[in-house]
Amino acid sequence: MCGIVGVTGSKRVLAILTSGMARLEYRGYDSAGIACTEIESGGHQGAASLLWRKRTCVGTNSVARLTAELGDKELGDGNCCQLAGIGHVRWATHGRPDIDNAHPHFDCNSEIAVVHNGIVENYESIKSQLVDEGHKFTSETDSEVIAHLLESFSSSTKEPIKALKALLDVLEGTFAIAVLFKHLPSDIYVVRRVSPLIVGLHNGIGLVASDIPAILGETRQVYSLSDNEIAIVRPDSISIVGEDGEVSDPIFRDIQWSLEEAEKGGFDDFMSKEIAEQPASVADTLRGRITEDGTILLDQENLSKDQLREIDKIFIVACGSSFHAGLVAKYAIEHWARVPVEVDISSEFRYRDPILNSRTLVVGVSQSGETIDTFQALKEARLQGAKVLVITNVVDSSMTRECDAVLYTRAGPELGVAATKTHVAQMAALYLLAIHIAQSKNVLYPEESLEIVNHLRQVPDLMAKTISLQSNIADLVHRLSNQTTGDAQPTGNRCRRFFYLGRNVGYPVALEGALKLKEISYLAAEGYPAGELKHGPIALIEPGVIVVAIATRNRLWSKMLANIEEVKARGATVVIVAGEGDEESIAKADEVILVPRVPHPLLAPMIDVIALQLFAYHFALVMGNDVDRPRNLAKTVTVE
């Protein structure tokens, strides 16, 4: 889940690298580094005098420190100037975060520089063999073996393509790799397998990145490499070498996102910006997909109604917030479409021998479309003959090429690590899918479908109203953070145990609320179905514990109130999320978060979760945390 950027053919090599790395720092921020080729002024293009690198390792300030240390080097070192460069931001998998483990990595002779995203699963056996051959390693990483392998392969051939093809034959695992060769100072060679990698070209500048925001300011036309493709990126051309050895020109696609969309836009941080964008994200996801009579039309949903009619079991596979969106969808699909649904953690799905066949639909949910666990689960499902549908926010991502159908969310780029707008957009897409399946199976009357979609159309306005309550939630958080204990000392940062409770669709909301608090506030929080609390966890309820109860009205609302009484009786401070004007729920609360009432209870999670995002957000601010870059987390998980 590291970030890669590369550039060739520009007089602004270092500026493009460092600005691109800054935009990618949400993907990894343990360390940062660049490598560049240089020639002396007036020297010919083939006469590279230097391949150098610069690395820093100061956590979330690594790119800023690197940029500062580079200083005026943009003009070159003495009489030198940069021809091409590759940059990397790292999220550690093999080897601790330190300078030696920071990318780029060199070969023994400092003539090859490599940056890598992914995991080389067989690196230990490769490294052992290379050490026996006399190679000297300077890091603990799996990535360094790539540089030494290329050195070894290049000793018998000076042709990088042959060396890279030999590399593909040896490496096991997932990877996106960018390489500089000292003797080819204007060229960047890239290759990928599973891990994402794109290339672009604009006005004589060749570009490489692991994600779109890194190069969005330089080009709007990109090409996404397929597995085992090699790209040669030069200042005025890009060539693609397929697995069969055939060379072709890339077919670029236009990116519609603006650079402004990928920046904060006046907000204090990306998370608050993206919370505010949620109504538009849902409205955009719904737009054009609902006809006047309530029929759902899904773009790139290449499963016919006849095929959907035959589906008798649905599996939803996802991780993190996407998993919670899948749990919400289970209630909606089973209620509206009358099809049994299982929701699986992606990393467990393919290892438990799921029973799949041609009448099974497996739905993979991933904001990036690159989440490795979900990607591998979908590949397993296809091998077993199941139909596969992907819900993702990224066009042409890896999962979209491993499925029968795609339903894109339209949330735009999400740079905050903690999912907000992509999460609610996923729920919107899953609701559309639920209604679409129900319509395909003819289990809803037309007037029922129309009523449901009309309720769904109202949700963006209700979301906007919820966001407008932010100051009330901020005040509530400050009150809770200033509670006193028995010794009358302010607890402040000592509010460290939270339980989130919900029933029916409120349960996945409780899970997501607890996850958000953990992710950005680093406070101990657990989500439970409220009825399960008395089967053990209630032993932890005592004065000082904060219980957040999702009590917006659904079919189990009265039982939820009884569960609230159980925790109140044991001294917990109870924060209730309730609908406006719901006096019965408000009466049970020590503190209350009032949200707009939703016309259909199955749609309530899209409102309730926003209140809990804001609750977690303001706790993180009170704790003094960086909400955009929570520790130990990365936005896109592309390693198992």
Q: In Å, what is the CA distance from 612 to each residue of 74, 318, 516, 545?
A: 45, 21, 8, 17
Token code pair at residue 115: 């940056």
What is the DSSP secondary-structure string of 496-557?
A: -EEEEEE-TTHHHHHHHHHHHHHHHH--EEEEEEGGGTTTTGGGG--TT-EEEEE-S-STTH
- How far is residue 373 CA from its own chain's centroid? 12
End-to-end CA distance of the chain: give it in Å, rounded: 10
Mutual angle of helices 123-132 and 144-154, in 10-degree steps: 50
DSSP category for residue 27: G
Q: For the sheet containing 360-366, what is the strand order? A: 341-345, 313-318, 360-366, 387-392, 405-408
Helices (H), 340-420: 346-349, 372-383
Catalytic site positions: 2, 635
Q: Provide the residue type at 196 as one letter.
A: P
The torsion angles phi and psi of 42, rounded to 5 degrees, stand at 85, -10
Identify whether the C-beta of residue 512 lies closer than 8 Å to the C-beta of residue 321.
Answer: yes
Report the candidate in 215, 220, 242 with the shortest Cα–Cα distance to residue 231.
242
Report the candidate in 317, 256, 332, 334 with the shortest Cα–Cα distance to residue 505.
332
Helices (H), 186-310: 270-276, 278-286, 305-310
d(CA 37, CA 545): 58
DSSP category for residue 26: G
Mutual angle of helices 320-336 and 506-521, in 10-degree steps: 170
Report the candidate in 400, 388, 412 with the shortest Cα–Cα distance to residue 226.
400
Q: How many CB atoms are closer than 10 A to CB 535?
A: 9
